[in-house]
Every structure is written in C-alpha cells, then in structure tokens.
Amino acid sequence: MDNPLPPGSVIGILGGGQLGRMLALSASRLGFDTHIFDPAPNGPAARVAARSWAAPWDDDGAVEHFASKCDAITFEFENIPASALAAAASKAPVRPGRRSLELTQDRLIEKQFIRDAGCQTVDFADVNSISDLEAGLSRLGRPAILKTRRFGYDGKGQIVIRDETDLETAWRDLGEQPAILEAFSPFQRELSIVAARAANGEMAIYPLAENSHEGGILRLSKAPAHVDSATENSAIEIARAIGAGLGHIGVFAVELFDVDGQLIVNEIAPRVHNTGHWTMDACACSQFEQHMRAVAGWSLGDTIPHSACEMTNLIGGDVTNWQGLASDAATCLHLYGKTEARAGRKMGHINRLFPLND
C-alpha cells in the first residue's frame, strides 16, 4: 500500500455508539489512537477512546477542530449530515468517502444505485403523496412495504401495507414524508455479506451469514451460512459490484433476500454491520480490524473463519443475565457499556463457536 498510516496515528470516528466502540477497540490493538465525535457525550465509544468530542453535527467549527487532530477519519453510521462530512474532509481524509454515504443514506437513491450496479432489487416506487402510494400499490400489489427514504433502522420508519390497511392512516403514521414503496419479497431466508475494499480496489470478503430478525431487530446471525457455491459466488459478485460502484474504502455490508436461490439486494450498510459481529471471534481479523486496516491503508486481513459461529444480540433486558452468559465457557461475551437497558436497545451480543462444517 502507498503511505499506510503508521501505528501511533490518530483515527477519528464520527459517531460514538457500539460500532464506534468496537472499531476503537480494534484500532487500539493495531497501535492507533481514536478520537470520537458524537453529539452525545460519554457514549459507548468515547469511554474506550483516547479522546472524545461532543458537539452538534451542524457545528462545523467543532467538526473541523476534531478533524484537525486526526490523520484519517471514518464513521460508524450512515446518517451523518453532508455538511459535517464536508467539514471533516476539509482537514483530513475521510474513508469511506462522500459517495458511499450519498448513495446509501436514501433508500430510493440506494435502490437505483444497486440496479445501476447490475444487481437485483425488489420492484419499488417513489412515493411523495397518497396518490403516489395508490399508483404504486396498483403496480406492485399488496402486501407491500412503505418505508421512509431516510433515517430508518431496526425496522423503524416502515409500515406493511396489507389488504385491510387504510392508506391515509398509513401515510399519516409514516409522517407524510418522502418514502419508497417496495414490493413484498417472498424470500425463504435472509443472508448478508460483509466485505472490505482497499483504496487500490483490492477486496476481502467474508463468508455469508444467515440472519433472523425479531420485531424488526436482528436477533441471530449464523455463519458461514449453508449455501451452495452458485449462491456464494453470486453474493461475492454482488459485493464486488457494489464495492466498486461506491468506490468504497473500508468495510460495508449487503443485506440479501434469498428467493429460490436468487439473491435480491435489500440494502447496503456503508460501514461495519451487526451481521458481521461473528467475525470478532470466528476469524483472525474481525470486520472492525479489517475496516481500520482499509482506512489506514494497510493490507487487508484474512477473512477465512477458523470456526463456525452463532451470534445472538442481547436486546434490552437480555443483558441482565450477564453473569450466566459470562460463566458459560463456550460463549464469547461482548457488552457495549450502555447504562440503560431500554426495550429494543442493542446492549451487547454473544458469539458461540462451533467446529466448521458441523
């Protein structure tokens, strides 16, 4: 690699939740210092970082001050305002770049990009009014899913339009904001692929994970997923097309629906992803270390797992059983240091390892 950042360099992270925390921990193992920028002080990442900055996203001066102390900057979530990204980029290289955010922050732009990259998506319609919604439904049929174009996560900002759903109520419940209507995919299972792309275009791709959700929130990822080689190859091709199309530097994830062996792209996360947490204990180089390697311009690490893994999220009150989990020798416990175990909140996760090919 040209000009890799040496150990001792400072890597800035925009966003200070659990992904930022696990990025910071991995960065520190490689000898880097991390600085965290987040509007909320003292979050999960700030407490394991060398330094943290708390200021609103629209405080360009604060973002620039933070960035001026960093040798490179990355982010842990995709809803960073464009102005904050530009302020950061005026002082230090931001990896991944603006394009990765711009093409994935908005579900409509994202779906168009995925198709332009030569991958399949469900059919969709642009919805800005009730009449758009009616027109979209007459084309896509029911059930369909109405999603806000921006700021959705963990199933939030989505309404399933069933036969009996009243459209005016649904449109009001969604907040009457720019939306995308998606045909309902009759998938047999959900898969995801986590990949890293270096500045020179080289890629490192982990095996697929098979994922299950409860109440819109990821509960379980099993990896490597049991897939045939055609499916595996098709997922790798999708990851390559999307990584190259974004000009991405760093880790990203692609969520997939498996429909009779055909892979339909659901969404892209331009960052480390919950369905890649299994790599922390089942691979020599986790997705977090991998991301830091790419951001720092180091060579990418190995993605071949030494074990199979089941990752289970600890959501809300699950975490009160930490002593039981900690006393199970077969369980690798990861806690995020969040003080309040609110319902639906991701508090930690466990990885259980198994021999490969079991």
Strands 209-214 and 189-197: antiparallel
Question: Please, which residues bridge with residue 148 across strands?
Answer: 179
Minimum separation from the CB atom of position 276 to Mg ion (A) = 13
- The residue among 30 and 167 lying less far from ligand ADP, judged by its C-beta, is 167
> Can residue 19 be called a binding residue for ligand ADP (CB under 6 A)?
no
- The residue among 8 and 186 lying less far from ligand ADP, judged by its C-beta, is 186
Interface mask toward ligand ADP for 139-178; x: CB under 6 A:
------x------xxxx-----------------------
CA separation for the pair 95, 89 (Å, rounded): 9
SS3 203: strand
CA separation for the pair 162, 40 (Å, rounded): 38
Kindly indicate which of the ranges 26-34, 67-75, 96-104, 254-262 contains the residues binding Mg ion, using the contact rule CB under 5 A: 254-262
Nearest to 78 by CA among 110, 35, 51: 110
Give the burial class of 51: count Cβ atoms within 10 A of its Cβ; 0-12 exposed, 13-18 middle, 19 or more buried.
Answer: middle
Which of 98, 139, 213, 306 lies at the binding interface for ligand ADP (CB under 6 A)?
A: 213
Give the residue nearest to ligand ADP (CB). 185
Exposure on the CB side of residue 305, measured as CA atoms within 13 A: 26
> Can residue 122 be called a binding residue for ligand ADP (CB under 6 A)?
yes
**In degrees rounded to 5, what are phi and psi of residue 134?**
-60, -45
- The residue among 266 and 279 lying less far from ligand ADP, judged by its C-beta, is 266
Nearest to 119 by CA among 264, 230, 220, 248: 264
How many positions of this chain bind ligand ADP (CB under 6 A)?
A: 15
Interface mask toward ligand ADP for 253-272; x: CB under 6 A:
--x----------xx-----
> Can residue 190 be called a binding residue for ligand ADP (CB under 6 A)?
yes
- The residue among 33 and 255 lying less far from Mg ion, judged by its C-beta, is 255
- Contact at 8 Å (CB) between 299 and 1? yes
Minimum separation from the CB atom of position 316 to ligand ADP (A) = 17
- Contact at 8 Å (CB) between 53 and 31? no
Give the burial class of 97: count Cβ atoms within 10 A of its Cβ; 0-12 exposed, 13-18 middle, 19 or more buried.
Answer: middle
Minimum separation from the CB atom of position 184 to ligand ADP (A) = 5
Residue 64 binds: one of ligand ADP, Mg ion, none (C-beta under 5 to 8 A by kind)? none
- Residues at the contact surface with Mg ion, assessed by CB under 5 A: 255
- Residues at the contact surface with ligand ADP, assessed by CB under 6 A: 122, 145, 152-155, 182, 184-185, 190, 213, 216, 255, 266-267
